[in-house]
């Protein structure tokens, strides 16, 4: 692994979304959101379970109606991951899902209505230990702020967020996190920077409506990459017009790239050229699919020839360097006598990676047991 200075995280308070800690140095939680009809309980549960399989920490479910609140009750009983209910305007829905064990309410107190409604939601959240997420979005900024600033600006998003924060402050409620999302990368980044200086609560990061799989991933990586590398951000969601499972994978890939949080395999592969001695692209694609279940953090380098292969293999958990008919194999930076047959590369490498992951998991368990004694 390459050495690098660790990122100093912004200091914040901590909340708990169900059992998942958010803020105050806790691992940055990766979230996603279901896109099934919440009233379709079976489809929504199936999607949440698919998200659980790729390691999601928290899932948001929109609850637009009382029927959806009833469905939420049944969904909640069938999944393990903490659930956030996304609610707009109707405070009664918030009270209802609180009864059904919701782990966090995504509701903006300034949009609930009169003081007694706000109070009833906040008192309920306090009684049941349910945190709130304030979510400001550049696309739905209050009309008066749009008029004041002319367009969504970082100051406008900040002012909008602080209106909701001030309401919770006034009610002595501090168990909340805040997001100031925008589809424009620079608008979102600057808004989060301003907000990070104003409050001590955890921040939920996202570039909203970022786009499809490719463009949305790029925008999110740039925006969240800037913020995370400055230590800003305690939980994140990648908003893609794609399968929510992809949002989780991209979220972990961003954290992995910044070496903030490792989960699963970090593949290092060359772009290939005429020097490649085996099918690098086919190998990487096949292994990425086959090894989705591996959660052990590992660096695996798959390099087509000796130009860059040995150098990358030296700093990888396992590495392959393309050779004529047979390719060189490295473990923990040490060249092994064993070589892979280029034709059998995928199967042989998969077996090696699985065996190494099992060994690393076992060593970790031994260390933990020792420390607990
Ligand atoms: S490592 Fe070798 S095969 Fe891969 S891109 Fe570089 S020169 Fe080409």
Atom 8 (ligand 1) nearest CA: 273
Atom 2 (ligand 1) nearest CA: 305
- Please give the C-alpha separations between residue 82 and each of 37, 48, 60, 121, in angstroms, as whole numbers: 19, 10, 9, 19
Q: How confident is the model at residue 104 (pLDDT cuts 50, 70, 90)?
A: very high
In 3D space, the residue among 347, 345, 328 whose CA is nearest the CA of residue 337 turns out to be: 328
Mean pLDDT (the chain, rounded): 94
d(CA 307, CA 345): 19
Q: How confident is the model at residue 111 (pLDDT cuts 50, 70, 90)?
A: confident
Using the mean position of ligand 1's atoms as its centre, give its distance from the Cα of residue 271 in Å: 7
Which of 308, 311, 313, 321 for a ligand 1 pocket mutation test, highest count of atoms within 8 Å of Cβ? 308
Does the pLDDT at position 235 exceed 90? Answer: yes
Could you report the per-residue pLDDT of 20-30, keeping only the tens digit for each? Answer: 999 999 999 99
Using the mean position of ligand 1's atoms as its centre, give its distance from the Cα of residue 272 in Å: 5
Q: How confident is the model at residue 211 (pLDDT cuts 50, 70, 90)?
A: confident
- Please give the C-alpha separations between residue 182 and each of 133, 212, 239, 247, 285, in angstroms, as whole numbers: 16, 15, 11, 17, 32
If you count them, how many residues does the chain have?
373
Please indicate if the annotation marks 270 as binding a ligand.
yes
Nearest atom of ligand 1 to the alpha carbon of 304: 3
Using the mean position of ligand 1's atoms as its centre, give its distance from the Cα of residue 345 in Å: 17
Domain ranges of the chain: 15-257, 265-372
pTM to 2 decimals?
Answer: 0.89
pLDDT given at position 368: 74
Using the mean position of ligand 1's atoms as its centre, give its distance from the Cα of residue 304 in Å: 5
Which of 302, 304, 312 for a ligand 1 pocket mutation test, highest count of atoms within 8 Å of Cβ? 304
State mean pLDDT over 57-81: 98
In 3D space, the residue among 290, 286, 319 whose CA is nearest the CA of residue 302 turns out to be: 319
- Contact residues of ligand 1, CB 6 A cut-off: 270-273, 275-276, 303-305, 307-308
CATH homologous superfamily of 15-257 equals Dihydropteroate synthase-like (3.20.20.20)
Does the pLDDT at position 201 exceed 80? Answer: yes
Could you report the per-residue pLDDT of 322-367, keeping only the tens digit for each? Answer: 999 999 999 999 999 999 999 999 999 999 999 999 999 998 888 7
Q: How confident is the model at residue 285 (pLDDT cuts 50, 70, 90)?
A: very high
Segment (H or E) for 170: helix 154-170
Using the mean position of ligand 1's atoms as its centre, give its distance from the Cα of residue 229 in Å: 30
pLDDT given at position 140: 87
Q: How confident is the model at residue 11 (pLDDT cuts 50, 70, 90)?
A: very high
Cβ(288)–Cβ(266) under 8 Å?
A: no
Does the pLDDT at position 214 exceed 60? Answer: yes
pLDDT given at position 344: 95
Cβ partners under 8 Å of residue 365, min gap 6: none
State mean pLDDT over 278-282: 96
Does the pLDDT at position 3 exceed 70? Answer: no
d(CA 340, CA 327): 5
Does the pLDDT at position 80 exceed 60? Answer: yes
Per cent of the chain over pLDDT 90 is 88
Q: How confident is the model at residue 238 (pLDDT cuts 50, 70, 90)?
A: very high
State mean pLDDT over 166-175: 96
Q: Which residue has the tokens 């910044």?
A: 258
Tokens representing residue 13 in the block: 């308070």
Segment (H or E) for 298: strand 298-303
* Higher per-residue pLDDT: 48 or 1: 48
Nearest atom of ligand 1 to the alpha carbon of 271: 5
How many other CB atoms are there within 10 angstroms of residue 212's CB atom? 11
Does the pLDDT at position 263 exceed 90? Answer: no
Q: What are the phi and psi torsion angles at 321 (to 5°)?
A: -125, 120
Please indicate if the annotation marks 104 as binding a ligand.
no
Query: 265-372 architecture in CATH?
Result: 2-Layer Sandwich (3.30)
Using the mean position of ligand 1's atoms as its centre, give its distance from the Cα of residue 273 in Å: 5
pLDDT given at position 273: 96
d(CA 252, CA 317): 19
């Amino acid at each position: 692994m390459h050495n690098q200075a660790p990122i100093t995280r912004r200091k914040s308070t901590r909340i708990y979304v169900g059992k998942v800690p958010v803020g105050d140095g806790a691992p940055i939680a990766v979230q996603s959101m279901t896109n099934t009809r919440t009233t379709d309980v079976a489809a929504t549960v199936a999607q949440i379970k698919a998200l659980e399989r790729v390691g999601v920490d928290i899932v948001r479910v929109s609850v637009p109606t009382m029927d959806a609140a009833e469905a939420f009750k049944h969904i909640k009983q069938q999944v393990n991951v903490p659930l956030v209910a996304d609610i707009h305007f109707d405070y009664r829905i918030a009270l209802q899902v609180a009864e059904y064990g919701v782990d966090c309410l995504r509701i903006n107190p300034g949009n609930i209505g009169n003081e007694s409604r706000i109070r009833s939601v906040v008192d309920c959240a306090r009684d049941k230990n349910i945190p709130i997420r304030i979510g400001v979005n550049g696309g739905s900024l209050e009309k008066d702020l749009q008029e004041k600033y002319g367009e969504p600006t970082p100051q406008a998003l900040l002012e909008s967020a602080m209106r909701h924060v001030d309401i919770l402050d006034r009610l002595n409620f501090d168990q909340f996190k805040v997001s100031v999302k925008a589809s424009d990368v620079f608008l979102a980044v600057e808004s989060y920077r301003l907000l990070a200086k104003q409050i001590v609560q955890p921040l939920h990061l996202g570039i909203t409506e970022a786009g499809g799989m490719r463009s949305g991933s790029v925008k999110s990586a740039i925006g969240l990459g800037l913020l995370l590398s400055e230590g800003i951000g305690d939980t994140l969601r990648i908003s893609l017009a794609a399968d929510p499972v992809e949002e989780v994978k991209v979220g972990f890939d961003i954290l992995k790239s910044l070496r903030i949080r490792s989960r699963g395999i970090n593949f290092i592969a060359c772009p290939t050229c005429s020097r490649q001695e085996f099918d690098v692209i086919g190998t990487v694609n096949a292994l990425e699919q086959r090894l989705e279940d591996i959660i052990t953090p590992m660096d695996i380098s798959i390099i087509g020839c000796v130009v860059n292969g040995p150098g990358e293999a030296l700093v990888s958990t396992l590495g392959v360097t393309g050779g004529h008919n047979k390719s060189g194999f490295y473990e923990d930076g040490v060249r092994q006598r064993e070589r892979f047959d280029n034709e059998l590369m995928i199967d042989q490498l998969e077996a090696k990676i699985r065996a190494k992951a099992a060994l690393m998991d076992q060593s970790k368990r031994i260390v933990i047991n020792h420390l607990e004694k």
